[in-house]
Copies of this chain bind each other. A is one copy, B any other.
């Protein structure tokens, strides 16, 4: 697995059970996965030499993130390395414009979108807004994640003009989309194997805060069966059309007129962390099974409600003493920490609670996450 973040870390936990040796390419031995894996190679995923040395003797190469340049993945593939997902599929998780064009080509519901031309971009945006209304959503076609590379434009004022001109001057390729008035955000997580088997997890509701996925509720409360089935089918269709191998997470807007695709990711995804305890097969094991072309595991939920809340860094770099309260307060809450240095607002772990009563489960997960962040000061800070 290329990348040494928490996704590789949790994938390693799953791979251990299957007796599958996981090698990780990390930039630094201190990275989340590098701390816990036996087979760590230090290198830069933007260097073909490093990738080649890493991939030697690997049966399959897969990705912890979308930031490996296309041309390098293609070079690996040309040399005979099995990359899953492959470059053609992964491109749709790397380039938002390519993704929009492709999804639209087979009728997957997307917001209105267009490439922003470098010539007369402001006039173009004004015309786009006349058709679709303000606000607009401006996105870098490549390189964004967790809210980075996305800007909401309220009007064509001086700030907007400065931003757009600066980005284009910096060579950032831009996409504009209509702003979708959504009721809430959902996520559909599916797996697809090279053989073509597909498996869909229950549809979840994701609650974002500051552009970061903060809380995930499985199943999405009150979601009607038809819409849930439609979301699963949509994600399976996208996986098949794009030839995805491994996991595909489809972030969705639920609107008054139906579902709209927001973003795609082709790897274990924050919206699927709940599956570690909440589904018979965790997304991490499912990804390993899918990329190795093993039969996929059951996606059945293990409880009526499962809630995952991300743990963000607070002011105190030492989270460990706060375990005592969290574990004593709630022996059933599951704590997952990523071994990351605590910085305020950084994702450093997640907690999961499950049970029959959604309000109670949600309160338990929130309490644990807030306490791990703030300690006894959570009431003032949370």
Q: Which residues of A contact B (CB under 8 A)?
A: 9-10, 12-13, 16-19, 21, 34-38, 40, 199, 277, 280-281, 289, 294-298, 300, 302-303, 319-320, 323-324, 327-328, 331-332, 334-339, 349
Contact = CB atoms under 8 A, between A and B. Distances in A.
Given A36-B38, A37-B38, A294 B19 contact: no
B17 A335 contact: yes
Given A17-B336, A281-B331, 17 more contacts: A13-B16, A17-B337, A18-B335, A18-B337, A19-B320, A19-B338, A19-B349, A21-B36, A36-B37, A36-B38, A277-B280, A294-B324, A295-B327, A295-B328, A296-B327, A296-B331, A300-B332
A21 B18 CA distance: 22
A19 B36 CA distance: 9
12 contacts: A9-B16, A17-B335, A17-B336, A18-B337, A21-B36, A21-B339, A35-B38, A199-B331, A281-B331, A294-B327, A295-B324, A302-B303
A17 B12 CA distance: 11
A297 B331 contact: yes
Contact of A17 (B13, B37, B328, B331): B13
Contacts of A331: 199, 280-281, 295-298
A193 B36 CA distance: 25
A57 B40 CA distance: 23
B19 A339 contact: yes
5 nearest interchain CB pairs? A19-B337, A295-B328, A295-B327, A298-B331, A298-B332
Contacts of A289: 327
A280 B332 contact: yes
A306 to B, nearest CB: 12
A38 B35 CA distance: 6
Nearest to A327: B295
A347 to B, nearest CB: 13
A349 B328 CA distance: 33
Nearest to A22: B36
A13 to B, nearest CB: 5
B12 A16 contact: yes
Contacts of A18: 323, 335, 337
A327 B9 contact: no
A250 to B, nearest CB: 22
A296, A303, A327, A339: residue with the most chain B Cβ atoms closer than 10 Å: A327
A38 B12 CA distance: 11
A12 B339 CA distance: 14
Nearest to A276: B17
A9 B13 CA distance: 10
A331 B18 CA distance: 14
Contacts of A295: 324, 327-328, 331
Contacts of A12: 16, 36
Given A298-B331, A300-B332, A36 B17 contact: no
Contacts of A335: 17-18
